[in-house]
Homo-oligomer: A and B are copies of this chain.
Amino acid sequence: MNIVVSAAEMQTMAEQARLQGRTIGLIPTMGYLHEGHLSLVEMAKRSCDVIITSIFVNPTQFAPNEDFARYPRDLQRDTELCRSAGSTVLFTPEQNEMYPDGYSTFVSVDGISSLLEGKFRPTHFRGVTTIVAKLFLLTKPHRAFFGQKDAQQCVVVKKIVKDLRFDIEIIVAPIVREKDGLAMSSRNVYLSPQERSEATILHASLRRAEQLAGSGERSAANIVRAMKSMIQQKQNAVIDYVEIVDADTLSALDRIEKGIPALAVLAVRFGATRLIDNALITVR
């Protein structure tokens, strides 16, 4: 596995790989890797010759009051995980190379960036789309792999690819969960034992949504009410949002209907830790 720190070196290596006809897959991450990330590497191996995992804790997607400084980092462990998972390149650029003094260019998506997460983290997606565009330009992938856990991020990234015409296929992999259902997240490490135990309610509430829809409930408000009442039973849970939205556009749905893929999405805080999760709701 090549470990590349220099952005210029990364770009040269990517261009050479393309000229050799090799297929490049990118897995952009903020590190502190878990099985969710590694499932993306596994998936990339099936269709790509060059598997680039990038690790960059991107400051522009954190608001000043958020957890940028304390976001968990363990490059040594990540390096071993990447290597054993089969990544062929680990790209770990420095902050001052990605955002040098005077940096001032941003990629942004109107509309969908302001919904859901965007209501609570108004500058978040501008940071995401900017760094993703930049990683695309530096690593020149044919395919890029994202996890469904960050459902809105997937929609926003697909939108910049479609709108700006990045020549890249975006592949979204299913959420990987702990045995008790908690979606894998680098931020789970923040949780106290009590919070960790309570946090399983998120997945339970999503399963309840699936059950309700499966048994004929069509009202989004009714499903949301049932989810919220479950989550609110947990002592430390503070709900940012629980919504049923169109899976493609993220616009709120009043009713779940055949042929419209619906997504139950939520963000809930347990103490200082903010968790997100989601599930596709299909009606047959």
Contacts and interface: CB of A to CB of B under 8 A. Distances in A.
A19 B15 CA distance: 10
A2 B149 CA distance: 45
Interface in A153-186: 159-160, 163-167
Interface string A89-126: 00000000000000111111111100000000000000
Contact of A163 (B104, B110, B140, B160): B104
Interface string A127-157: 0011001100110100000000000000000
Contacts of A159: 104-105
A111 B104 contact: yes
Given A19-B21, A21-B19, A11 B110 contact: no
Given A11-B165, A164-B137, A167-B11, A107 B109 contact: no
A105 B105 contact: no
A18 interface: yes
A112 B104 CA distance: 9
11 contacts: A104-B111, A104-B112, A104-B159, A105-B110, A106-B107, A107-B107, A130-B164, A134-B164, A137-B164, A137-B166, A138-B165
Instruction: List the 9 closest pairs (A to B, CB-CB), nearest first.
Output: A105-B163, A104-B110, A105-B160, A137-B165, A104-B111, A105-B109, A134-B164, A107-B107, A138-B165
Interface of A: 7, 11, 15, 18-19, 21, 103-112, 129-130, 133-134, 137-138, 140, 159-160, 163-167
